[in-house]
Structure 1
Amino acid sequence: MRQNTTANRFKSKVAVAQGDDEQGSVESLANLSPKTIWQSVRREHLAFWAICGWLFFEYVKPQAIYGWLDFMPWSMTCILAAFVLSFAKGDKAPNYNGLTAIHAGLVAFFLVVLLSSIFAYNSAYSFSKATVMGQWFIVYYLVLKIVNTERRFFIFFLLYLLCNFKMSQHGFVSWVSRGFSFADFGVSGSPGWFMNSGEFAMQMCVFLPLSIAFIQAFKNRWSKLLYYFMLLFPISAFSSILASSSRGAILGLIAIGLSILFQRKKIFKRLAVVVVAFGIAFAFTPPEFKERFTTAGEDDTSTLRLHYWGIATDIGNSNPVLGIGYYNWIPYFKAYHFDPSIKYKPEEVHSTYFQALAELGYSGLLLLFLFAFFTWRINRYSVKLTAPFIDDEVINFYNLTAKALNYGLLSLMVTSTFISALYYPFFWIQALLSALVCIFATVRSRQLSSSGTIAAPSKFLTAGSPLPVKSLTSRHVPSRR
């Protein structure tokens, strides 16, 4: 009798850890019922509301679209509120040794930014931009601290997809309205980080595989109408990439396709999907855009970027440790290398890697590559960890999302060659989502293995320290009638 009681108590704890109550389980939220989602969201602590508010105001930027909303710094206010409220509630970030490398990589990169600002060519200008990189450092910590249940992660991830869809549908509609024709300016996303077509297309390369993973994981729960609506997510993202007129983004898309082909399972199905996708892309790509690839390396845009990259290399070699300083490319270039006969105004270096080399030296460039590598490894670990458990619907979601995050990371590594986006949200949010997936994939896999539901290979469940179930649980709140 006592053994049965103990077993039942353990199963009950596992259910609560997974957020398994009638209105708040991930499975119930995955039905995408607005009523169910709202009932779950309204029971969450204000700290969670604040961090979700930051995501909305930072990605959608309604305050920049509607002037009457722009009466306060919404994003920074949400960060401050999330910081204060999370401590008031006593939330704790999950402790998992497997994430030590990625945490250390972020701290090390931030320290290089700080030191390069102190010894910068124009230190005052560096510190005037301190909130840019500082924001990602603080947000990374806050999200890990606050988004500490599966239910919260699902809602946060869904909001992330919706914010991206807000941009992708605008890009798709813009392209359709001009008859799928070519435009030098491409299409743009929300004001701010994704206003320019290149950065917008980079984000769409990240959004595309994530939206497909989400659909694959939960499509069996949806009606046909909802399924067709959700298909608009990847369709609009794919179309926005084609409409962006960004050669770097197209290369990033090709990198995703080639990576899919290198998967061992279902090779013919994967080949068919990639061939069809690229066939559609080729058919809808305007002739003027195709012509840009034939002149790559010889047109004015290419030669100008090669000129900037050469200057950045010389600057990095002259300042190998910390570069000329965080955010100092423009003031330094304007003082020593600006030639109005070549370009009428000073421009960015048009490469994340050369930007890191010039502004942060070889130490910053090395740390950027290491940080990306740590992110890739975390996702690979999540994929291997969840592989024995993919019969569980939520575990399958984590498995597919981890793969999608690595597809997006690969596209970022390719497109970053041609776009200056070192302090943009791309790498830092990608790492954050990867850490969250790893945390919840680990705790659910261990729970399934411990409860005897599925026996997993021990090598996947011994890495790092045990995740405390208590810190990942969501308090059961009875439904309100």
Structure 2
Amino acid sequence: MRDVVITLLVLAALPYIFRRPSFGVVMWIWMGVMNPHTQGWGFAREFPFAAIIAVTTVAAMATDPRRRYRLALNPVTITFLLFVAWMALTSAFAIHADQVGGQLVKVMKIMGMTLVVLLLLRKRVHVEWLVWAVVVSIGYYGVKGGLFTLRSGGQYRVWGPIGTFIDGNNEIALALVMTIPLMLYLHGLVAHRWGRRALLAAMVLCALASLASYSRGAAIAMALMLGALWIKSRNKALTGVLLACCVPVALLFMPAQWHDRIDTIDQYQDDMSAMGRINAWHMAFNLANDRPLGGGFEIYDADVFERYAPVPEDVHAAHSIYFQVLGEHGWVGLALYLALGFFTWRTGTAIIRQAAPFADLAWAGHLARMIQVSLLGFLAGGTFLSLAYFDVPYYLMAALVATRTIVERERLVLLPARGKNPLAPDDDVAGNPDEELRHDPA
């Protein structure tokens, strides 16, 4: 029955996507992040729903007679394109060039659709659709996992959906940490009180589910995220009181075995898993020093570890977004990856600064703050996980780029009229927002 429902939903959405390509972003994120077809038991599990949605979205863009889709060139988009091109180059010269095809295709699909998202996000409603899609897609597992944690008393671990980026306990925990700030942003948009209460409950359940993953990295990311959430919040007193009340209760709720697990953070020398990660980090470091292009994808095997790891027989995945990129794409790849994160963060800071004087743009400043908090959680938790190609951070990057464009456009309208503003964008290049609103019902 689940397979039939999911299939009908996707098929029903295709005509709507063809009419409004921006809705394809919602469907793509729902299918690619939540992976609802994995919750079925039959044919839907292997059906290429994501590919169908992607093809429909791109076809709708190609046949849309109303406007031309142009990529805004700025430090974020330029660095993103350079990073994608560099990954293609390192794949051509990979250690196992005959084996990287599958991973290369997977990564390029994510990057390609990120580019489509960058092209399609043009208005506030599009950005908020993206945020809702991410929150619903990951929040579903957070609410489900939080209820499971309450029922079991935290005795059992929470896991993510099988066969996805977030199938492991560590991965789902980090995804939930990233989702909580986005829920807080949406909480300010919902007018109905029960809707607001539902979002608050979802945030609590997501936090419990993240703790119940027994992920030490996620616990560190959670602590940093909550600290940043307090710093970035508009009402620090209220946020501080809520955190002071909720955090101790959540920690006391978790069983002794959870505390024993977290207490091993400062005893990593006695933890085989932690030492295996450090061995993999050394391997990536040595490989990058030996090969300027890195090793490419698929480097985590006995042959590579024999050549570059201090303990050759201890073969592990990278378990770090930074060492993953370093080992696979070399120092240049890591520099591009870090630069992409830096410019994305600076974009959020610019939004906050530019939106501050205008009440009508308060939403943009709040969104930028919450996305920064979300990305900070990813950057912290990603230190211990191989999630360099996890799609959600790239979608949040696109949301910030689009929001800055919207803010800069709206500022021209909100500033006092002084005749024709010489700084106004040319309609042929940037598009006339009034014309867009008349012709685009989305």
Alignment equivalent of 2:90, drawn from 116, 119, 123: 116
- 2:103 matched to which residue of 1? 129
Moved more, 86-95 or 406-415: 86-95
* 8 Å CA contact 2:154, 2:212 repeated in 1: yes
Counterparts of 1:308-319 in structure 2, within 5 Å, are 308-319=280-291
Query: CA–CA distance in 2 between the matches of 1:142 and 1:266?
Result: 36
CA shift for structure 1 position 126:
1.8
CA shift for structure 1 position 325:
1.2
- 1:5 matched to which residue of 2? none
* 8 Å CA contact 1:323, 1:361 repeated in 2: yes
SS for the counterpart of 2:437 is coil
CA shift for structure 1 position 377:
0.5
CA shift for structure 1 position 105:
0.9
* 8 Å CA contact 1:96, 1:465 repeated in 2: no
* 8 Å CA contact 2:282, 2:309 repeated in 1: no
CA shift for structure 1 position 437:
2.1
- 1:468 matched to which residue of 2? 431
The CA deviation string for residues 290-329 of structure 1, in whole angstroms up to 9 with x for no partner, is 222332213222222222222222222222x211113433
TM-score (norm 1): 0.78
The CA deviation string for residues 117-171 of structure 1, in whole angstroms up to 9 with x for no partner, is 1111011222232222212221122122233233333333322222122221122
* 8 Å CA contact 1:93, 1:471 repeated in 2: no
Query: CA–CA distance in 1 between the matches of 2:129 and 2:88?
Result: 34
CA shift for structure 1 position 64:
2.3
SS for the counterpart of 1:129 is helix
CA shift for structure 1 position 378:
0.6
- 2:174 matched to which residue of 1? 202
CA shift for structure 1 position 463:
11
Letter in structure 2 aligned against 1:300: M
Moved more, 299-308 or 248-257: 299-308
Letter in structure 2 aligned against 1:386: A
Query: CA–CA distance in 2 between the matches of 1:464 and 1:378?
Result: 19
* 8 Å CA contact 2:180, 2:203 repeated in 1: yes
SS for the counterpart of 2:438 is coil
Instruction: Tell me if 1:187 matches 2:159.
Output: yes
SS for the counterpart of 2:389 is coil
Query: CA–CA distance in 2 between the matches of 1:249 and 1:161?
Result: 18
Counterparts of 1:4-15 in structure 2, within 5 Å, are none
- 1:249 matched to which residue of 2? 218
Q: Structure 1 residues 43, 204: CA separation in 2 closer, same or farther (over 3 Å shift)?
A: closer
The CA deviation string for residues 412-448 of structure 1, in whole angstroms up to 9 with x for no partner, is 1111110011122143122112112222233233322
SS for the counterpart of 1:306 is helix
Q: Structure 1 residues 89, 341: CA separation in 2 closer, same or farther (over 3 Å shift)?
A: closer
- 1:6 matched to which residue of 2? none
- 1:68 matched to which residue of 2? 43
Moved more, 43-52 or 206-215: 43-52
Q: Structure 1 residues 95, 135: CA separation in 2 closer, same or farther (over 3 Å shift)?
A: closer
Instruction: Tell me if 1:380 matches 2:349.
Output: yes
TM-score (norm 2): 0.85
Q: Structure 1 residues 315, 83: CA separation in 2 closer, same or farther (over 3 Å shift)?
A: same
- 2:297 matched to which residue of 1? 326
* 8 Å CA contact 2:121, 2:399 repeated in 1: no
Query: CA–CA distance in 1 between the matches of 2:203 and 2:30?
Result: 20
* Identity over aligned pairs, percent: 17
* 8 Å CA contact 1:48, 1:146 repeated in 2: yes
Query: CA–CA distance in 1 between the matches of 2:233 and 2:370?
Result: 16
Letter in structure 2 aligned against 1:322: L
CA shift for structure 1 position 191:
4.1
Q: Structure 1 residues 94, 471: CA separation in 2 closer, same or farther (over 3 Å shift)?
A: farther
Moved more, 149-158 or 375-384: 149-158
Alignment equivalent of 1:291, drawn from 260, 263, 283: 260
CA shift for structure 1 position 230:
2.3
Counterparts of 1:140-179 in structure 2, within 5 Å, are 140-179=114-153
Letter in structure 1 aligned against 2:159: V
Q: Structure 1 residues 244, 441: CA separation in 2 closer, same or farther (over 3 Å shift)?
A: farther
Query: CA–CA distance in 2 between the matches of 1:149 and 1:376?
Result: 20
Query: CA–CA distance in 2 between the matches of 1:368 and 1:43?
Result: 32
Counterparts of 1:214-293 in structure 2, within 5 Å, are 214-216=186-188, 218-219=189-190, 221-222=191-192, 224-262=193-231, 267-293=236-262
Counterparts of 1:421-436 in structure 2, within 5 Å, are 421-436=387-402
Moved more, 258-267 or 372-381: 258-267
Query: CA–CA distance in 2 between the matches of 1:305 and 1:404?
Result: 30
Instruction: Tell me if 1:405 matches 2:371.
Output: yes
Letter in structure 2 aligned against 1:384: R
Letter in structure 2 aligned against 1:469: N
SS for the counterpart of 2:388 is coil
Query: CA–CA distance in 1 between the matches of 2:128 and 2:239?
Result: 27
* RMSD between aligned residues: 3.3
Q: Structure 1 residues 389, 251: CA separation in 2 closer, same or farther (over 3 Å shift)?
A: same
Query: CA–CA distance in 2 between the matches of 1:264 and 1:338?
Result: 44
- 1:300 matched to which residue of 2? 272
* 8 Å CA contact 1:62, 1:69 repeated in 2: no
Q: Structure 1 residues 372, 366: CA separation in 2 closer, same or farther (over 3 Å shift)?
A: same
Q: Structure 1 residues 339, 371: CA separation in 2 closer, same or farther (over 3 Å shift)?
A: closer
Query: CA–CA distance in 1 between the matches of 2:98 and 2:320?
Result: 24
Query: CA–CA distance in 2 between the matches of 1:230 and 1:171?
Result: 15
5+ residue gaps, structure 1, are: 1-37, 453-457
CA shift for structure 1 position 113:
0.6
Alignment equivalent of 2:77, drawn from 103, 124, 135: 103
Query: CA–CA distance in 1 between the matches of 2:144 and 2:80?
Result: 33
Query: CA–CA distance in 1 between the matches of 2:278 and 2:46?
Result: 42
SS for the counterpart of 1:225 is helix
Q: Structure 1 residues 115, 477: CA separation in 2 closer, same or farther (over 3 Å shift)?
A: closer
Letter in structure 1 aligned against 2:177: C
Query: CA–CA distance in 1 between the matches of 2:47 and 2:376?
Result: 37
* 8 Å CA contact 1:201, 1:244 repeated in 2: yes
Q: Structure 1 residues 339, 365: CA separation in 2 closer, same or farther (over 3 Å shift)?
A: closer
* 8 Å CA contact 1:209, 1:405 repeated in 2: yes
* 8 Å CA contact 2:117, 2:395 repeated in 1: no
Letter in structure 1 aligned against 2:293: L
* 8 Å CA contact 2:324, 2:386 repeated in 1: yes
The CA deviation string for residues 396-417 of structure 1, in whole angstroms up to 9 with x for no partner, is 2222111011001111111111
